[in-house]
Structure 1
C-alpha cells in the first residue's frame, strides 16, 4: 500500500509505515533539515520527501495538485502543533494559523477522497491533545473551499478518533496526542505494568562515553525493537551537554517552586516513563528535561539526542541530519512516535486484508534493523563533541522580575515581588508586592494591603524592625536593586538583588510560627508566614519608594 505523508518532519510518522512494509511515495515539509533526514532514512537518499508548502499545494490547480500529491491508499499528516500547545503562552497562543494548516491538510484529503476513481481508503491526522477542541466533527466542501467538487461532508472525528497516550503503545514516554480521521480501531499493546521507565531506557542505551566511544566494539540492543548494532555506531549519544548552575537552578525553581502549579521532579524521575519530549531545547524552564551527571555532585546535563530519540521510539539506527544539537532536538520533539505509527500501520493493513483490498500484503514484523548508515557529507554526528559550559550574561536594563518568596506557599497563598518601569527610557523602576492566592479561575490578587505591626507578638517586633533596617542598608535604593538583578552572579558578588532579598526573607520567616491572621481587604484568614513576609516586603518597598520620591523632588528643585 502507498502512503503520502504531509507535514512529514524528520519522518516519525512515515517510519512506522515504512517498517511495516508500506511504500512512502511522497512526503512534504517546509524545513530543509527535516526533508533531508526523511530521505536519508527512508529512501536511500532519493527525493521521496520534498520541500513544499502544504497551504500552497492544498490550493493549487488540479493539474499541479495531482502532480504534487500522487494517488495513494493512505494519507497521514501532523500539522504543526505549536499554536495549540499548552506550553505556548500557557495555551493562550493565537490558534488561527494552526487551524489554517489543519484545514489545508483536510482540503487535500477531501480532494483525493472525493475525486473520480479515488484510491484513498484511510487517512490519519495527529496533533497535540489540545487541538481536539479546534477540530470540527464534519467539514462541508464549502468550508474547505471545494464548493464545486461534491455535496459530501468529510467526517473528521470518526469512531476511532480520540486522545491516545503513546505509553500504551510501546513508546517509553508519557505523550498524549489527538488522532483523528478514517482508520480502523487500535488496540493498546502495553499495559500499565509493562510501561517502560526512563531509567530502564537510559540504562540500556548506556552512559555517554565522549572520550572512548570509537573503541566500543560490543553491541547494543535497541530497547524498543530488539535488534543489535555496535555501540560505536550509535550516533548522537557519546557526548555530554552540561547545564551551568545559573540555568539548572532556574529550572529547578520553575519545577519545584512555581507556586501556582504542581511540583515536578528535579532531576527527572527515573522510575516513571519520560515526560513529553518538547521541540525546544531548553535548560532553564519548567519543561526542561534534566538528568544528573553520574558521580558528580550538583552537576546536571540535558539528554543526548539519541536518548530523546529512543524515548520517542525512534530506532537506534535512525540518523538525524542537523548541523547542531538544537536542530536535531527540534526534529525529535516535533515527530510522531514511530512505534505508535507502526501499530497504526498494522491495524490498517489487517483491516485491508479483512476487506479483501487488492493492495493488501503481509505485514513486516517491524523489529529488524534497516541498517541505515548512508554516507553523506551533510551528516553531523555529535559523538565526541565538546560543549563549552555556557556563561551567564548580564540581563537587559529593563529585565522583568516576578517571583514569590521561595518555597513559601501556604494554603495556595504566596507573596510576590514584581518590578515595573515608570519611564520609557527605563531609568526609573518601582517595585510592588502583592499577595496571590490559587490559580486559574479561582486566582485572587491582593495589593495595597495594610498589615499593622501590632498584629504580630511584641516578642518579635524588635527583631522584625532590625531585620528590615538591615535589608534597607544593603539594598540602598530601588534602582540599585534592579541594577544588581541585571548583573551576573559573579558580578553581584555579595551585593543584594531581588532574588537574594526574597531568599533572606524566606530564611527569616521560616524561623517563626503563628496562627492564621485576619487582615482587612482579604476575604479569608491569612497564614502567619504569608502575612509576615508581606509585612517585611511592603515596609521595605515603602521606604524605598519614599526615598525615591524625595530624590526626585530634590532634583526637580
Structure 2
C-alpha cells in the first residue's frame, strides 16, 4: 500500500456514509469534505446538521458551503489540506430529483439535478486519480439522464475512463432492498476495476441480508423511548390511535391491508387507505405503516424514514417505528456510529440520505486496487461492526465448476 496514505475529499458528504468506508481503510486519509446541510428545501441551509455527525465520527470538519454556487477554485482554496492532484474524489449529489418514488420527477427536471454535471468542474480542478459517485438508478436511465451524460462526456474529455452501472446492494451484503447506480472514473494510465470485479465468483448467503441478522439482537425499547446505553437507539413517539394501529398489525411483515375484514381493526384505516382499497391499489400502497419481515431484507430506507406512515419502517414485532440505530445498521453503518443532532427526525434523514458504509468500504478497497494493482481478498472487505461477516461469502455455482 505504501507508507503515505492516499488523500480523499468527499463532496455532498452528508453524515459520512461514503467517507466512512475510506476512513476505516488504512490506505486512505480524509483531507476534506463539504455539505450545505439541507434538510428540506423549505428549511434552508444548515438545517439537517449532518456535518456534526461527520466530524464526530470521521475527525474532519466539513465545509458548510453551497456546492451549487461555490466555484471549484474557491472550494479547493477553502479545503484544510492540499487537494491538487488528489488521489480520490467522492461526490454523491442529492438523488431526490432523480428518484422514481417522487411522481413529479417523471416530468419536472429538479434544479438539484444540475449538481451532477457541475461535479466535473471539481474534477478538473483537483485532478483526482480516482473518482466515485453514487445515486439512484434513474441517474443513468431516467428522463433526466442527460445530467449524467454531460458529466460522463466531460470526464472522458479530460482523459478519464468511466464505468457506470446499477446494482441491488443486497448483492454486496447490505440487509436492504436498495438499488443504486455507481459511477467510477479513473485516470487514463490506471486500470478500471469495479465492485463486479471484486465480487466475481462469489455471493453472500441469503441469511446475511435479513432484518433478523441485522437488528434482532438489539435490546427492546418502547415507542418514543431511548435506551440508556445508546442515545441512538430511540424512535419516533407514537401514541393513541397511531400506536394502536401498529399494535393491531400482524408481526413479521404485517401491514394495514391485514386489518381489512375485521370490524375491530378496520377502524384504524385512514382515508388514504380506503382510497387505495377503492382503487385496487393495495400492492402499491401496502408498505405504508407496514412492519418489516424478519427473514427478508429491509425495504429501501429513504430520507423521510422517521415515521411509520412514510413506508414499511415499523419493527417486525415491537409496536413502534424502527429506531435510529436499527435503521442505521440496516443502512450498513457500524453499530457504534454516532448520529448527532437535536432533532431525531434529522438523524433519520442523515441515515436515509447516506451511502451505505458497508458498501463504501468495499469501494475503498476497489480504489486501493486501482491505485496499487493489488487485488484484495474478499475477506478483507468486511467493514467491522456491521451485519456482514467473513463466513457469509460463498462461491457461485459457476466459480465452483471452474475450481472442479
Question: Do they superpose with TM above 0.5?
Answer: yes
Distance 1:131 1:243, change over 3 A: farther
User: Does the Cα contact within 8 Å between 1:77 and 1:125 map onto a contact in 2?
Assistant: yes
Match of 1:41 among 57, 63, 79: 57
Q: How many residues align?
A: 322
- Aligned counterparts, 1:287-298, within 5 A: 287-291=311-315, 294=318
Query: Residues 52-111 of structure 1, C-alpha deviation per residue, up to 9 Å, x if partnerless?
Result: 111223x35x4x343135232001111011111122236436324133111111221133
Distance 1:93 1:243, change over 3 A: farther
Aligned to 2:206: 193
Normalising by structure 2, report the TM-score.
Answer: 0.69
- 1:365 CA drift (Å): 6.7
- 1:194 CA drift (Å): 4.4
- 1:167 CA drift (Å): 1.1
- Aligned counterparts, 1:247-258, within 5 A: 249-250=269-270, 253=273, 257=277
- Provide structure 2 residue ranges, at least 5 long, that are not aligned to the other structure: 1-5, 38-45, 186-191, 247-268, 387-404
- Aligned counterparts, 1:235-274, within 5 A: 235-238=231-234, 241-242=237-238, 244-245=240-241, 249-250=269-270, 253=273, 257=277, 259-260=280-281, 262=283, 264=286, 266-274=290-298
User: Does the Cα contact within 8 Å between 1:138 and 1:153 map onto a contact in 2?
Assistant: no
Aligned to 1:168: 171
Distance 1:336 1:86, change over 3 A: same
Distance 1:152 1:213, change over 3 A: closer
User: Does the Cα contact within 8 Å between 1:208 and 1:238 map onto a contact in 2?
Assistant: yes
User: Does the Cα contact within 8 Å between 2:138 and 2:145 map onto a contact in 1?
Assistant: no
Matches of 1:312 and 1:167, distance apart in 2: 11
Normalising by structure 1, report the TM-score.
Answer: 0.51
- Provide structure 1 residue ranges, at least 5 long, that are not aligned to the other structure: 114-119, 145-150, 215-231, 295-299, 371-557
SS of the residue corresponding to residue 216 of structure 2 reads helix
Match of 1:128 among 127, 130, 136: 136
Residue 30 (str. 1) matches residue 36 (str. 2): yes
Matches of 2:302 and 2:22, distance apart in 1: 23
- 1:325 CA drift (Å): 1.5
User: Does the Cα contact within 8 Å between 2:235 and 2:324 map onto a contact in 1?
Assistant: no
Distance 1:200 1:256, change over 3 A: farther
Residue 206 (str. 1) matches residue 219 (str. 2): yes
In our comparison, the structure showing a higher alpha carbon Rg is 1
Q: Which has the higher contact order (CA 8 A, sep 6+)?
A: 2
Distance 1:255 1:112, change over 3 A: farther
Distance 1:65 1:326, change over 3 A: closer
Distance 1:310 1:213, change over 3 A: same
Residue 13 (str. 1) matches residue 13 (str. 2): no
Matches of 1:367 and 1:284, distance apart in 2: 29
